[in-house]
Amino acid sequence: MVDWSVESLAFSRVLYRALGQRGRFCQADITGPLPFASGSYDLVFSCGVFEYFTTSQIEAILKEMFRISTTRVVVMVPNALSLPYRLGKWYLEKTGNWPWGGEVPSYSLRRLFRSAGSAKTEEFSVAARHSLNFLTMPFGDRIRKALTPVFTRSGESRPAVLRQGYLLVTIGQKETAALR
């Protein structure tokens, strides 16, 4: 696990221990070179990070992720196509109650994955039911109730109906891995 925050790394160590898991923990700034050899990891994963960086920063971070990966890079970000999430975010920002700062959702990361070295890229959204939790505005409960049957058809861990999941998942396969 890589994080720039010493506190987050300490929390993660405690969490891993509580779950009976082992991990490597490294304090580093992901906007620069990572302190790992090329091809150090089979899979490199990021969730809840890219939405705070510029496009050029994301591209540089992805290149570094592909450098240290042997096969795949997986990134999860808030999905700009998710209407309940976007409506809820708009309302919470308008009322001054949005707790996640300057989060910028993405429509797609395919182009950035390709330019960073992905030979094959897959993209879909998950957590459609979770997107309904953002509907906290007046009458949001009515919208949530109407959409729940549609948004729960695929389950939270499978691709969401009409790409309405809260999280956009982009999976890139490294060019050299595609030849195997």
pLDDT of 10-53, one tens digit each? 999 999 999 999 989 999 999 999 999 999 999 999 999 999 99
Q: What is the pLDDT of residue 170?
A: 98
Q: What is the pLDDT of residue 71?
A: 96
Go through the domains of the chain in sequence order and give each one's CATH number.
Answer: 1-30 (no CATH), 45-178 (3.40.50.150)
Sign of CA dihedral 23, 26, 27, 31: negative
Q: What is the pLDDT of residue 154?
A: 63
Is the CB of residue 121 less than 8 Å from the CB of residue 173?
yes
Beta-sheet pairing, 69-78 with 41-47: parallel
3-state secondary structure of 137: coil
| Among 98, 102, 106, CA closest to 81 | 106
Q: What is the pLDDT of residue 151?
A: 84
Amino acid occupying residue 83: L
| Dihedral (Cα; 149, 151, 153, 156), 10-degree rounding | -130
Q: What is the pLDDT of residue 7?
A: 94
Beta-sheet pairing, 2-3 with 26-27: parallel
Q: What is the pLDDT of residue 161?
A: 80
With DSSP H G I counted as helix, E B as strand and the rest as coil, what are the percentages for the chain, rounded to 5?
40, 20, 35
Regions of the chain where pLDDT drops below 50: none
> How many other β-carbons are positioned within 10 Å of the β-carbon of residue 59?
17
The first and second tokens of residue 46, run together, are 């990021």
Sign of CA dihedral 80, 82, 84, 85: negative
